[in-house]
């Protein structure tokens, strides 16, 4: 199979990456124009390839039928990407909007520097999940690894399982919701009151992520103690 022909009058494009290159796939996705009929894409045999569906700007649905390598869906805008497998490092890195659903596990720094959109990981996420997040919403059905939400600036990280060491180290104003145990909190990250507006926000995130039978009251909230915004010699040991 050759690269998909956007002049074809069909609504679903099927791309087999055992016969088509990732470059050709990504170029076809980048060439989409507003109002295109090609709103649904099936990507077969991804084979752990890197940077699949990176930088997609149009509101299309992309189903990747297998596991992927680095940076799948990076810089996503508007697309709804579903990975029917696991994802390597940096899935959804710097995504702006749209959604990414990982049906399996995700490797380290999932959603790193993400500015918007929704990233759902139905398995576990490794270390540094949500590092330096800047507005993205991340929902993890399983556990997350150490140093997650390091320097997280804004957005929401929801974890239905447990969190590893140094959660929220040097956090700014992101909100962290963990249902399970937290091995340890990082510098300047503390447990915070769960107010009614947080319960409402969390319920919306659970609903949008397809979580059923879990109540927002089962979670604890964590965030910044706001002690590291400006250097203070009394806090030197925390840096």
* In the chain, domain spans: 12-210+218-225
Cβ-in-10-Å burial (0-12, 13-18, 19+) of 91 comes to buried
Predicted local distance difference test score (pLDDT) of residue 230: 67
Residue 231: pLDDT band with limits 50, 70, 90: low
Identify any residues that bridge with 185 across adjacent strands, giving them in sequence order. Answer: 167
Residue 7: pLDDT over 90: no
CATH architecture type of domain 12-210+218-225: 3 Solenoid (2.160)
Q: What value, to the nearest 5°, has the Cα angle with vertex 190 and ends 145 and 217?
A: 80
Predicted local distance difference test score (pLDDT) of residue 4: 47
Residue 87 near residue 107 (C-beta atoms within 8 A): yes
Helix, strand, or coil (residue 22): helix
- What confidence tens digit (pLDDT) does each residue in 80-124 have? 999 999 999 999 999 999 999 999 999 999 999 999 999 999 999
Residue 2: pLDDT over 90: no
Predicted local distance difference test score (pLDDT) of residue 237: 65
Predicted local distance difference test score (pLDDT) of residue 35: 86
- What confidence tens digit (pLDDT) does each residue in 16-47 have? 999 999 999 999 999 999 988 899 999 999 99
- What confidence tens digit (pLDDT) does each residue in 140-184 have? 999 999 999 999 999 999 999 999 999 999 999 999 999 999 999
Residue 128 near residue 112 (C-beta atoms within 8 A): yes
Residue 233: pLDDT band with limits 50, 70, 90: low
What are the residues whose beta carbons fall under 8 Å from the beta carbon of 165, sequence distance 6 or more?
146, 147, 183, 184
Q: Helix, strand, coil proportions of the chain in percent (round to 5)?
A: 15, 25, 60
Predicted local distance difference test score (pLDDT) of residue 9: 43
Predicted local distance difference test score (pLDDT) of residue 187: 93
- What confidence tens digit (pLDDT) does each residue in 41-73 have? 999 999 999 999 999 999 999 999 999 999 999
Residue 236: pLDDT over 70: no
Identify any residues that bridge with 99 across adjacent strands, giving them in sequence order. Answer: 80, 118
């Amino acid at each position: 199979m050759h690269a998909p022909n956007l002049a074809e009058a069909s609504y679903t494009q099927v791309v087999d990456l055992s016969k088509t290159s990732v470059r050709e796939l990504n170029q076809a996705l980048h060439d989409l124009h507003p109002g295109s009929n090609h709103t649904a894409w099936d990507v077969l045999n991804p084979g752990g390839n890197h940077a699949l569906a990176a930088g997609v700007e149009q509101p299309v649905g992309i189903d990747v039928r297998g596991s992927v390598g680095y940076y799948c869906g990076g810089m996503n805008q508007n697309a709804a990407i579903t990975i029917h497998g696991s994802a390597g490092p940096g899935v959804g890195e710097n995504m702006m909007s749209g959604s990414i659903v990982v049906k399996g596990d995700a490797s380290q720094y999932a959603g790193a520097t993400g500015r918007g959109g929704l990233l759902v990981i139905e398995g576990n996420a490794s270390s540094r999940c949500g590092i330096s997040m800047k507005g993205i919403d991340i929902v993890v059905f399983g556990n997350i690894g150490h140093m997650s939400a390091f320097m997280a600036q804004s957005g929401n990280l929801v974890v239905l399982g447990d969190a590893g060491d140094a959660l929220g180290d040097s956090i700014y104003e992101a909100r962290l919701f963990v249902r399970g145990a937290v091995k340890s909190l990082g510098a300047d990250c503390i447990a915070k009151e769960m107010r009614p507006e947080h319960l409402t926000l969390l319920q919306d995130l659970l609903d949008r992520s397809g979580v059923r039978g879990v109540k927002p009251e089962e979670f604890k909230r964590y965030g910044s103690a706001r002690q590291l915004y400006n250097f203070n010699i009394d806090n030197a040991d925390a840096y």
